[in-house]
Structure 1
Amino acid sequence: MLPPTGQALTIMEALHSTPARRYLDPDPIPEDVLWAVLDAAIRGPSGGNAQQWGWVVVTDQDIKNRVATWYRDNWERAYGRHRERILASPAGSDGLSPRGFLGAEHLAHHIEEAPVWVFPVLRHAADEQDPRVGASIYGAVQQLCLAARAYGIGTSLTTLYRGHEDDLRDLLGLPPDALTMALIPMGSPAKGRWAQPRRKPVEDVVHFNRWGATRARSEGRNR
């Protein structure tokens, strides 16, 4: 049962209204809410139910400041240097939209202000070459984001700290075999709203039995 701070959302409501929230308030997240969200996350799927994971919660400002420097360096290399071109792109074009860019840029410049960070960590994955290794934790990561949504806490999933895994392992005191799979900054939304993320029509991206075999969506089916 949700405490008074939670919202009574149906599963479908939550699934359709959990966009990335990149403008986050620095106010602390209540301890009971944080634990409830983490407890919901670990109910998510785990390959073979092995649960070879850990969830590192970061509130230490020194740690956040150091990682934020790596994050901004990667942001500038991947996106920041394309700022003028992206902001001049017409609305509706493929790729990062101007509005999406501004939100991601804000996060890059303010990520250390988010009151809580969560690093989902997989054990025995540091040297893993299987691109599907994340399947053992990403379902649980989404449950964390959905649970946060129920409590009015915004999240986004990012990996822009990449390239500093060994440094991060030392900074967080992770076991040698551990690999961080993402960074999820969390906080009360400071801007924006809980809205359905814009996506291509489902009919355009769903294939039946073979790639390219599409099917018209019946009017009588739920949308």
Structure 2
Amino acid sequence: MPETSESAPPDRVGLLEGLHSTPARRYLADTPIPDDVLWEILDAAVRGPSGGNRQPWGWVVVTDADVKRRIAAFYKEGWDATYGVRRDELLDPARDPQVDTGLSASSYRATEHLADHLAEAPVFVVPVLLGAAGSQDKRLGASVYGAVQQLLLAARAYGVGGVLTSFHLAHEAEVDELLGLPDDAATMGLVPLGYPARGRWAQPRRRPVDEVVHWGRWGDTRSRG
């Protein structure tokens, strides 16, 4: 049974608890998300950081089944070309776990599931930046990705899961046309949202913080103690 908003009332999750336990959720049920919940999630997202408070963004909410199917087909094509062709390699139980292949076996299965079932997610949220078409500025995402994380954290408070992903971008022009974007705008990813169908809210596995934090200069590390 998928989790529902009743299992995690809004605002019950503490701030640090939410920050530590909001992993990517890729197994999503097709249970509809109420409009009032969506509005609350989006309202939290737009409170995210924006350089100079310029807010050069827009948020396209996609619920139309046909549009979702068309975007999902582009997404599946991108997934197949990038990782689908490596399925046997990445799921080989004999492969060396110390070799970084881009995805663990469990992550592969979850991401493959999303690629196969993306259209079933009840809502796609597409963050869009105006004036970003054709930009090569590597700092461009700073204008929106903090807000995207707030979207996911707000969704967490309502028991809704999601993930920021982008395999649809092999057909970016077609997606832009489907969404009716202005000529100068660019999608900055795709966030499918839904009540989780499996898995749990848990702390993602990460390297210890004292291994990745450098003090003053790269390579100068300290024990957390």
Please give the range of the TM-score, normalised by the shorter of the 2 chains: over 0.9
Contact 1:91–1:98 (CA under 8 A) maintained in structure 2:
no
- After TM superposition, the structure 1 stretch with the greater mean CA deviation from structure 2, 159-168 or 45-54, is 159-168
AA at the equivalent of 1:116: V
> Who is 2:206 aligned against?
199
**SS state at 1:44 partner:** coil
**Counterpart among 14, 20, 29 of residue 18 in structure 2:** 14
SS of residue paired to 1:119: strand
Q: TM-score, normalised by structure 1?
A: 0.93
> What is the TM-score normalised by the length of structure 2?
0.92
Change (3 A) 1:11 1:113: same
Aligned counterpart for 1:210 among listed residues 197, 210, 217: 217
What one-letter code is carried by the residue in structure 2 that aligns with 1:158? T
Q: Which runs of 5+ in 2 are unaligned?
A: none
> Any idea what SS the aligned residue of 2:60 has?
strand
Q: Which residue of 1 aligns with 2:157?
A: 150
How far has the Cα of 1:131 moved from its partner?
A: 1.0
**Equivalences for residues 1-223 of structure 1 within 5 A:** 5-88=9-92, 89=95, 94=100, 95-218=102-225
CA distance in 2 between partners of 1:201 and 1:18 (Å): 18
> Which range moved further: 60-69 or 138-147?
60-69
Distance 1:98 1:90, change over 3 A: farther
Secondary structure of the 1:57 match is strand
The 1-side partners of 2:11 and 2:128 are apart by 28
Cα drift, residue 91 of structure 1? 5.3
Q: How many residues align?
A: 217
Q: How far apart, CA to CA, are the structure 2 residues paired with 1:175 and 1:52? A: 13
Distance 1:206 1:12, change over 3 A: same
The list of structure 1 runs, each at least 4 consecutive aligned residues, that deviate by more than 2 angstroms after superposition, is 2-5, 89-95
Deviation at 1:7, TM superposition (A): 4.6
In 2, the alpha carbon distance for the partners of 1:157 and 1:102 equals 17
